[in-house]
Structure 1
Amino acid sequence: MPKYLAVYTMKHEDFARFRALSKAEQDAIDAEGVPKWMEWEERNATAILNRGGMVGKTTRITRDGITPATNAICGYLIVEAETAEAAAKLFEDHPHITVFPGDGVDIMPFVTDPPV
């Protein structure tokens, strides 16, 4: 079955707005979102090949050297599904976009064998 990289994205301004909330407000969002995330993973466990993880600040390496960089990537996981559309449908109700300030999940097919 085809395998897909699912990349969680978040706009920097949305993350900053979340971090500007009071600790109590952030905790309330976490209290709602974390259990829903766990439920989502349980519900889709057969499609998840690698739970991936969340990531932090970016460092870019180019011909000109090593520099800090920014992008919208904040995490990833690997799923398998019959089609890219089927893989995308797994994420329609994901807490990353329904509870947390994430702005999307990008789905990309692997063209080589992924690590699992």
Structure 2
Amino acid sequence: MKTYVVLYHAPQEVAARFAQATAEEAQAGLAQWQEWSAGLGDRLVDLGRPLGAAATVTAAGCVDGGSDVIGMSVVRAQSRDEALELVREHHHLAWGSITLLEEQVVPELA
């Protein structure tokens, strides 16, 4: 099995709107996550969580903001195609996009 990091992209306004959700809206959103995760079974490694304030760090310094990644999850699948099927109908696609990244094996040092 391979492991994939799922990054959820959306404008920061979407994340701000979620932060201001009523209890009923939050519960409805949680139900969507629970439905999606239940369908994955043991292929879900980490349901993940929302992500907040971003900073970009380079040799020249640090700049706040600049990321539209608002959350992440980790899934396991036999292939990239299978992993794509796990997120193809994800409810997040109603307001954003998803990036799927395959974790690479780090060769052991001799």
Shorter-chain-normalised TM-score: which range? 0.7 to 0.9
Distance 1:54 1:15, change over 3 A: closer
Counterpart CA distance in 1 for 2:81 and 2:5 is 13
- Whether the aligned pair in 2 keeps the contact of 1:5 and 1:77 (CA below 8 Å) is yes
Instruction: Report how far residue 44 of structure 1 moved.
Output: 0.8
In the alignment, is residue 112 of structure 1 matched against residue 105 of structure 2? yes
The alignment's TM-score, normalised by the length of structure 2, stands at 0.77
Alignment of 1:77-92 (within 5 A): 77-92=73-88
Using the aligned pairs only, state the percent identity: 19
User: Counterpart of 1:80 in structure 2: which amino acid?
Assistant: R
Alignment of 1:57-68 (within 5 A): 57-68=53-64
Q: Which runs of 5+ in 1 are unaligned?
A: none
- Whether the aligned pair in 1 keeps the contact of 2:76 and 2:83 (CA below 8 Å) is yes
- Whether the aligned pair in 2 keeps the contact of 1:9 and 1:74 (CA below 8 Å) is yes
In the alignment, is residue 69 of structure 1 matched against residue 65 of structure 2? yes
Instruction: Report how far residue 14 of structure 1 moved.
Output: 4.6
The alignment's TM-score, normalised by the length of structure 1, stands at 0.74
2:91 to 72, 95, 101: 95
Instruction: Report how far residue 29 of structure 1 moved.
Output: 4.1
Q: Which runs of 5+ in 2 are unaligned?
A: none
RMSD: 2.1
Counterpart CA distance in 2 for 1:61 and 1:84 is 30
Counterpart CA distance in 1 for 2:88 and 2:65 is 29
Structure 1 segments, 4+ long, off by >4 Å, are 13-16
Residue matched to 1:51: 47
